[in-house]
Structure 1
Amino acid sequence: MSGEKYDDYNFPHTHPEGDVPEGHPGNVTEIQGAQVHQLRAKLEAQGYTTRLDTNTLLRYLRARKFDVNLAEAMYIKAETWRKDNDIWAKGTTLDEIVATWDYPEKPKIFEHYPQYYHKTDKDGRPVYIEQLGKINLTAMGKITSQERMLTNLAVEYERVADPRLPACSRKVGRLLETCCTIMDLKGVGVTTIPSAYGYLKKASAISQDCYPERLGKLYIINAPWGFSTVWSIISGWLDPVTVKKIKVLGSGYAPTLLEQIPAENLPVEFGGSCKCEGGCPLSDAGPWNDSEYLGPFFKSGANASGIKPAAVAPAPEATA
């Protein structure tokens, strides 16, 4: 089945010629192209009509080593989760939630667990910062519910797909599909993770099962003593492609971060020079809030809701 009716991209949608990994847009073999068509046909036959664009299906296929049956199962699991799980009310879909979501408790929540997107790295990708060492689930439970926290997490993942990555792609003039992540372990102790294990397990499952192939680089900073030894064991269990994306750093992490992230885009507390008014965690600064790089929302692949950000006029459509 043709992907033309789904591939109505309004942002750069292929990588430029050159060093493009196989299986990514711009370097797809004839066999991989056939696997995309096969996967789409199988899903259409089961009644699926959204998020069937080529780039989305390629992400599912890459996540499952181009095993069409495994990619199909992963896609169906994710689509089922969007419509039926224990996070949001029965009969409500994630697409509907994204269109109207409001999270006024965020400033209070961020006092106990900052998780935010902030500007871009030197490749133009969104930078995501998570300060795991500050997590205090007990305090957060007095502010909001775990269900609302997980819903907000899902909404933010949706906003990575649209408008964040399309806006970043328009700004650099090439396709961007991944984020640059900073995971700060400062303050993590023997009781931190166990006390929040249930929440973190659910959050991790959402990321791995429903939003594949979104990790570009991961910097684990302020790693406590002994973590490198543990990591050397864990990394042996992971896919080598994933391991190459991850760097474990101690307290002297700033020079390495600055190799990847411009100082003016990196918050001061992490060795950069950025001081957003009201604080970087709540600024949501980035191309996705600049009307120059915002276009009509992508209709069939990333965000089926088609809702545009309030008070932002769409920019002219970009070409690949």
Structure 2
Amino acid sequence: MKLGLHYWTYSTPADPAAIAPTLAETAVTAEQAGVASFTVMDHYFQMDALAPAEEPMLEAYATLGYVAAKTERMTLGVLVTGVMYRHPGLLAKIVTTLDVLSGGRARLGIGASWYEREQRGLGVPVVPMAERFERLEETLRIFRQMWSDDDGPFDGRHYQLAETLNSPQPLSRPHPPIMIGGGGEKKTLLLVARYADACNLFGTSPAEVAHKLDVLRRHCTAEDRDYDSIEKTVIVSRPALADVDGFLAEVAEYAALGVTEVQVTPDRHPVEFTRRIADEVLPKLATIG
């Protein structure tokens, strides 16, 4: 079982001047401990369901560029990129840039953007959910084309690209892994079956994840896709340090379902959290799966 660290808040410590050194120390500590992936959110306001929207938030891909310069091995990605926030042709260039400059460590995490407060606040178009999913599918098709030898036009319902030139190509082969986040059963998991190398599900409970994976399996059958070729990942809701044995028992249940990576989120100073994860969780996690 691999472990990912999901860095979701920049509020600790409170001094904005401490954001960069804290981020760097957390990432380096995580990598040295054996954490497999480092992810950040794609938000511009903090999610007001978790904390006040006014709390500090950084742009995701600039943040990952900084982390890439401080690390050498961890996979780097956004959990997950909101499809409405960047034109897909430019997003393909952004992810390619991260992959090239990190030495082939980028992973594209993407989903249908949802946080309307920040969209309306910053002037991002807010479109109906059905259109968001249409745009998501076209974006996935554009990525596949731009990460191939085909640099011709793309003519979709929402996006028209006269040429899909992407030079240099990513260092990852055949391309950075595509991870679709979310558990929507009719659309999201169908897109996973059609386009993704990995899925990311909310770890509300092993029973719920089992249900979502059953839905994904049915979509794979309908799409003639090898279910086992898709990596299954889970962002775990249960605090990792509050009850380490309980957390590990839950992770073992996810492993039995075929999950190969779980992500955890700091619930205290991120450096302290990461050090404790290294000492208390990672050695035992290595025996699971």
TM, length-normalised to structure 2: 0.31
Q: Computing the radius of gyration over CA atoms, which structure comes out larger, 1 or 2?
A: 1
Greater RCO, 1 or 2 (C-alpha within 8 Å, sep 6+):
1
Between Structure 1 and Structure 2, the one with more strand by share is 2
TM, length-normalised to structure 1: 0.29
